[in-house]
Every structure is written in structure tokens, then in C-alpha cells.
Amino acid sequence: MARLEVKDLHVSVTDEDKGVDKEILTGVNLVMNTGEIHAIMGPNGTGKSTLSQAIMGNPAYKVTQGDILLNGESILGMPVDERARKGLFLAMQYPAEIAGVTNVEFMRAAINARRADDDQMPVMEFMKLLDEKQEILDMTDEMSERYLNEGFSGGEKKRNEILQLMMIQPNFAILDEIDSGLDIDALKVVSKGVNAMRGDNFGSLIITHYQRLLNYIVPDTVHVMMGGRIVQSGGPELAEKLEDEGYAGVRDELGLDV
């Protein structure tokens, strides 16, 4: 079992226009183990993507207080690639396009980076795994052979992020608004992929603005984020309550002014 812990995390970003730092995360606490799926819901601009970037180690997001621990070890000093090798994966809200690197090359490199030099994945094994996962996601070889996300539609990018997830098999995956811009059929395919990953060695933090995704990927725990911190946690029923009452309901109930 692996464990990811976020402790009293405060994160600032630099406002380029004003040249000043502003605090976005104001003390996030979160503990998750492999085998669990957690969802974070919250209004736009509350810091959900900031949390995912800080966990993954994007240097634009400065940790000013608190810690992020993987299996009890602080990962704050580690660059993104080291965090990835340690088993963290981020599917971004806006996946980047990278010319000159094909999807296949990217996935092979990512898989092998997590394995010892004398234990690299044989090509045949890789191709077999790729076929298997593409089939679950209704994807073709043609997409995998294209440059990373280049010319992909929004839905194809999201599907491709899930393909990477299924190939790389990280311990923890943060899925940032993987549902945004997906029609219902694409949403089902993406959910099928994530559900296929469920198991003792896999944990996921699913960030979403809407409850709809959580009908397909049923989380163990739901957290509500407001004003840069988690203000409420509960079971899947919390997502339904949010759908009915909106974020304003939570705000009123807790007497928050965020």
C-alpha cells in the first residue's frame, strides 16, 4: 500500500501583472491510500488545479508552508520527473501538445523510467499492453503513433491521458477535470478506463466541477474545496447534495465568506 499525504499546504503563485505573490492554497489537508478514489469538487478559481500542480511539482506553484509526503517521505524537493518515477501521475485540465514526440515514444519512456536499466519493458510486451488498453478506450494505433496530443480534439486528448494512465500504471493519479468538454459517450469510455485501474495498488484523486462524472466513477470520499482549502469531506452522497444545493449551500451551511 502507498500513501499520499498533503499537510497544511499553502501555495502561492506570482501575479505577473502586479509582480506580487498571491496565496491560492490556504492550508489543504488530505490523506489518501492506494485502493481509494477521492474526489475534490469546488467552484471555479478555488485552487483545485493549483493543488494538482503543487502535488506534481510545477515550480510556478510555490509551497510556502506545509508538506506533501509520499509514503512518509517529503517530495517537496523533488522535480516533476522524480515524482513521476515515484509513482505520481497528473492528467492535466489542459493537456499540452508536444511536437516531435509520439505518444508511443512518450509512454515507453515513461514506463521504462520507472523500471531498472536491466528490466526495461520488451517491445512486444509493450505493444501487447498498448493493444489491450487501446481496445478498452476505443482508440486506434493511428492515434498512438501521432505526436503527443497534436491535432487531437479536446475529447481525444482526455482519452489519450487515460491511455497514458493505463500504460504507465502509477500508484496515484490526479485527474484534473478529465470530464470537461466530454460528451456522454466519451465520458463513459474515460470512466471505463479509470474503473479498470481500480485496485489495491492504485489510488486516484479526481478533480471535477460537476457531479456527473461521479455517477460513473464512484468515489470512496468526496471533498469540497473552497477558498483554497478543503472545507468539508464525506461519502458519495456529498456530491449529490452539492448537485442539489450548489456550492452556495455549503457556503451558507458552514458560514463561509469565500
Nearest approach in angstroms of CB 241 to ligand ADP is: 19
Helix (H/G/I), strand (E/B), else coil: 211: coil
Cβ contact 136:152 at 8 Å? no
Which residues, 6+ apart, have CB-to-CB distance to 135 below 8 Å?
none
Nearest approach in angstroms of CB 46 to ligand ADP is: 4
Q: Per CB under 6 A, does 42 bind ligand ADP?
A: yes
CB nearer to ligand ADP: pick between 46 and 149:
46
Question: Which of 17, 20, 44, 119 contacts ligand ADP by CB under 6 A?
Answer: 44
Task: Name residue, grid cell 478514489.
Answer: 37
Helix (H/G/I), strand (E/B), else coil: 226: strand
Question: Which of 16, 44, 117, 237 contacts Mg ion by CB under 5 A?
Answer: 44
CB nearer to Mg ion: pick between 45 and 199:
45
Q: Which of 151, 71, 143, 72 is nearest to 106 (CA)?
A: 143
Which residues, 6+ apart, have CB-to-CB distance to 67 below 8 Å?
5, 6, 7, 8, 9, 74, 76
Question: Which of 10, 32, 37, 49 contacts ligand ADP by CB under 6 A?
Answer: 49
Cα–Cα dist 233/39, whole Å? 10
Q: Per CB under 5 A, does 50 bind Mg ion?
A: no
Q: Per CB under 6 A, does 47 bind ligand ADP?
A: yes
Contact region with ligand ADP (CB under 6 A), list: 41-49, 75-83, 104-112, 240-248: 41-49
Nearest approach in angstroms of CB 238 to ligand ADP is: 17
Q: Per CB under 5 A, does 49 bind Mg ion?
A: yes
Q: Which of residues 158-197 bind Mg ion (CB under 5 A)?
A: none
CB nearer to Mg ion: pick between 91 and 143:
91
Cα–Cα dist 25/67, whole Å? 12
The residue count for binding ligand ADP (CB under 6 A) is 12
Q: Per CB under 6 A, does 48 bind ligand ADP?
A: yes
Q: Which of 27, 153, 14 is nearest to 97 (CA)?
A: 153
Q: Per CB under 6 A, does 94 bind ligand ADP?
A: no
The residue count for binding Mg ion (CB under 5 A) is 4
Give one DSSP letter per residue of 85-131, joined into a string: HTTEEEE-SSPPPEEEEEHHHHHHHHHHHTS-GGGPPPHHHHHHHHH
Point out which residues bind Mg ion (CB under 5 A). Answer: 44, 48-49, 93
Point out which residues bind ligand ADP (CB under 6 A). Answer: 13, 15, 24, 42, 44-50, 60
